[in-house]
């Protein structure tokens, strides 16, 4: 699953660095820090929407209201282990599907390192805990590698095409 707005923002940052010849400067670092916050914000929002859409199959609006309340709290943390725990609330089969699918990815180290680096560096930026040691190229590559986590989450939640229609 792609994030059209994020792809556009990354392209704009690359274009800016190229045109202003400011690669390997504080400008690039500032753009990377901005994109880390944006990427994680989109991941958080997308995970919340995916879980809401899965819960949306419930016909009882009171149960759905309660589920939506819990979703917002449950999706504030989204390290891999947090996503596994979230899926376990649906059932062990959802959790197992997700873990198994991620374990079968041929680029396992790539997606896991990418996801963890993005989340960890976002925390560094958000909490002012020091510099981010990533270039825009590093971030872009890790962003694309990390998208497999979102794809496997969609599958583990057993979302259908109509459930994810319109998500860009």
**Contacts for 111 with CB less than 8 Å, ≥ 6 apart:** 102, 105, 145, 146, 148, 149
For CA atoms 88, 90, 91, 95, give the dihedral sign. negative
Domain count, the chain: 1
How far apart, in whole angstroms, are the C-alpha atoms of residue 75 and residue 86? 8
How do residues 46-92 score in pLDDT, each as one tens digit?
999 999 899 888 888 888 888 878 787 777 788 889 899 989 989 99
pTM of the predicted structure, to 2 decimals: 0.87
Q: Is residue 8's pLDDT more than 90?
A: yes
Structural domain of residue 154, as residue ranges?
4-164
How do residues 106-145 score in pLDDT, each as one tens digit?
655 588 889 999 999 999 998 888 788 899 999 999 999 9
For CA atoms 20, 23, 26, 30, give the dihedral sign. positive
């Amino acid at each position: 699953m792609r994030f059209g707005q994020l792809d556009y923002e990354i392209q704009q940052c690359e274009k800016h660095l190229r045109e202003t010849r400011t690669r390997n400067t504080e400008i690039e670092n500032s753009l990377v820090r901005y994109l880390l916050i944006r990427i994680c914000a989109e991941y958080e929002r997308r995970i919340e929407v995916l879980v809401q859409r899965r819960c949306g199959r419930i016909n009882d609006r009171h149960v759905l209201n309660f589920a939506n309340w819990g979703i917002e709290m449950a999706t504030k943390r989204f390290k891999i282990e947090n996503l596994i725990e979230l899926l376990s609330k649906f059932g062990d089969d959802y959790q197992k599907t997700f873990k198994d699918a991620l374990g079968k990815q041929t680029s396992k180290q790539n997606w896991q390192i990418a996801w963890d680096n993005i989340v960890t560096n976002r925390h560094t930026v958000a909490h002012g805990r020091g510099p981010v040691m990533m270039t825009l190229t590093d971030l872009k590559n890790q962003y694309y590698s990390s998208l497999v986590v979102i794809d496997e989450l969609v599958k583990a939640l057993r979302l259908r095409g109509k459930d994810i229609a319109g998500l860009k």
